[in-house]
Amino acid sequence: MPDFDLSGRVAIVTGASRGLGTAIAEGLAEQGARVVLSSRKQDDLDRAAIGINQRFPDRALPVAAHAGREEDLRRLVETTMARHGRIDILVNNAGTNPYFGPLIEADSGVWDKTFDVNLKGYWLLSQLAVKAWMEEHGGAILNIASTGGLRPSVGLGVYDLTKAGVVMLTRQLARELGGKVRVNCIAPGLFKTRFAEALWANEEIYNRVVANNPMGRIGRPEEIAGAACFLVSDAASYVNGAVLVIDGGGTEAG
């Protein structure tokens, strides 16, 4: 039978103070993992950790770190190793989208900020986690991309380019590390999170997305947790380099 048990394993989840990150972290904790929650703001992380620890005592550790700053990511890995002595699972989920508009009108500052967090940060934290533990002991990396990384969308060109890069980063690392470290990717559609509120709160955008979705709705954060737990568990022991679209069928229908 598939083995979803994560007891004894340690996970880092970035962008874990709310939305998809919190849902994934809670799912990992429910399966037995100790989870290091990371995002920029310590107060938000503390609240998320309290919520998880109320259900699963002593499973969540909040560590503030900016996903676009190398020194912060190094400190995150060092803190995790000092506290838990291992990193079996890495979920790269942190994201930013400071610009909505035509790609040709974006300035270089927007480009740099978005790529630093959404793509460079994923690569760098993966590198740090692999060298700190996974290279010798094995592990699983899960990158959170977007359906925007699979096809273009209006107004989200810079963001979509970073997510297309995450898809390729996943496949490249899976090719290079697959003998020891499995690397997979989830590409969510529109979910009801604060990060995506500018989209789902816009009636025109919301109605267009729902009209093209066979399930007639957008996603809920908790609906991503099961897939994440599967991909980082031994139940997915031969899944490597996969890009799992979770969008209710909207990408295919659209």
SS3 96: coil
The domain total for the chain is 1
- Could you state, in chain order, the average pLDDT of each consecutive group of 10 residues for the chain (254 residues)? 90 95 97 97 96 97 97 98 98 92 95 97 98 98 95 90 97 94 94 70 76 82 94 97 92 58
Q: What is the predicted pLDDT for the residue at 253?
A: 45
Does residue 253 lie within any of the structural domains?
no
* Integer Cα distance of 79 and 73 in angstroms: 10
Cα three-residue angle 42-141-76, rounded to 5 degrees: 30
Q: What is the DSSP string of 25-68?
A: HHHHHHTT-EEEEE-S-HHHHHHHHHHHHHHSTT-EEE----TT
34 residue type, one letter? R
Does residue 250 lie within any of the structural domains?
no
Q: What is the predicted pLDDT for the residue at 196?
A: 67
* Integer Cα distance of 167 and 150 in angstroms: 8
Does residue 218 lie within any of the structural domains?
yes
Strand 89-92 and strand 10-14: the pairing is parallel
Q: Which segments within 137-203 are labelled E, that is strand?
A: 139-144, 181-188
Of 52, 54, 45, 4, which is closest to residue 25 (Cα–Cα)?
A: 52
At residue 72, φ and ψ (nearest 5 deg) are: -70, -40
* Integer Cα distance of 122 and 14 in angstroms: 9
Any idea which residue has 């994560």 for tokens?
Answer: 6
Q: What is the predicted pLDDT for the residue at 145?
A: 97
SS3 197: helix
Q: What is the predicted pLDDT for the residue at 93?
A: 96
Q: What is the predicted pLDDT for the residue at 171?
A: 98
SS3 99: coil
Does residue 1 lie within any of the structural domains?
no
CATH number of the domain that 205 lies in?
Answer: 3.40.50.720
Does residue 60 lie within any of the structural domains?
yes
Count Cβ neighbours within 10 Å for each residue of 18-43 and write b for 16 or more, e otherwise: bbbbbbbbbbbbbbebbbbbbbbeee
Report the Cα 7 to chain-centroid distance in Å.
21
Could you confirm whether 206 is annotated as catalytic? no
Does residue 4 lie within any of the structural domains?
no
Does residue 89 lie within any of the structural domains?
yes
Q: What is the predicted pLDDT for the residue at 194?
A: 74
Options 99, 122, 159, 206, the catalytic residue = 159
Written as six digits, the tokens of 249 are 């069928």
List the domain range (segments joined by +) for residue 23.
Answer: 10-245
Q: What is the predicted pLDDT for the residue at 197?
A: 66
State pTM to two decimals: 0.94
Of 195, 20, 193, 14, which is closest to residue 120 (Cα–Cα)?
A: 14
Does residue 198 lie within any of the structural domains?
yes
Exposed / middle / buried, residue 75 (Cβ in 10 Å: 0-12, 13-18, 19+): middle
